[in-house]
Structure 1
Amino acid sequence: MSEHTYKFNVKMTCGGCSGAVTRALQKTEGVDSFDVSLEKQEVVVNTGLPYETVLERIKKTGKEVISGETVV
């Protein structure tokens, strides 16, 4: 499986929001590492999973994904 880095701009207003995204990604098999930044409103994910799969996992938390891109 090839390795990808995805960056998402996610609307998070509090620690609970970033915590929900963190928990969702921790439970996602195939996610190698990730960084959730409440200050930057940004989620960076390193994974072999397809972009759409990661996007759906974040959206399932109920947080609004404003934009997303493949970095690598």
Structure 2
Amino acid sequence: MSEHTYKFNVKMTCSGCSGAVDRVLKKTEGVSSYDISLEKQEVLVKGTIGFEPLREKIAKTGKEIISGETVE
């Protein structure tokens, strides 16, 4: 399965919010790397996981996903 890069705009107001997303992504199978920017309210994820399963994992943190897209 090929790797994709996904970009999500996630409403995060503090380091606790970004920490929650970090903890979920760390345990998610199919995620090879990720970058969480609290300043930009952005989560970039690379991996073989599909878009929908990844969106659901991030949504389970309780953070609002404003938008999401496949970058490559």
Indicate the residue corresponding to 1:11 in structure 2.
Answer: 11
Distance 1:57 1:43 in 2: 12
Map 1:1-72 onto structure 2 (within 5 A): 1-72=1-72
Unaligned runs of 5+ in 1: none
Distance 1:5 1:51 in 2: 9
Distance 1:47 1:54 in 2: 10
TM-score by length of 2: 0.99
Residue type matched to 1:5 in 2? T
Unaligned runs of 5+ in 2: none
Distance 2:15 2:46 in 1: 22
| Deviation sequence 1:5-56 (CA, Å, 0-9, x none) | 0000000000000000000000001100000100000000001011001100
Detail structure 1 runs of 4+ shifted over 2 Å in the superposition.
Answer: none
User: What's the RMSD between the two structures over aligned residues?
Assistant: 0.4
TM-score by length of 1: 0.99
How many corresponding residue pairs?
Answer: 72
SS of aligned partner of 1:66 = strand
Q: Percent identity?
A: 71
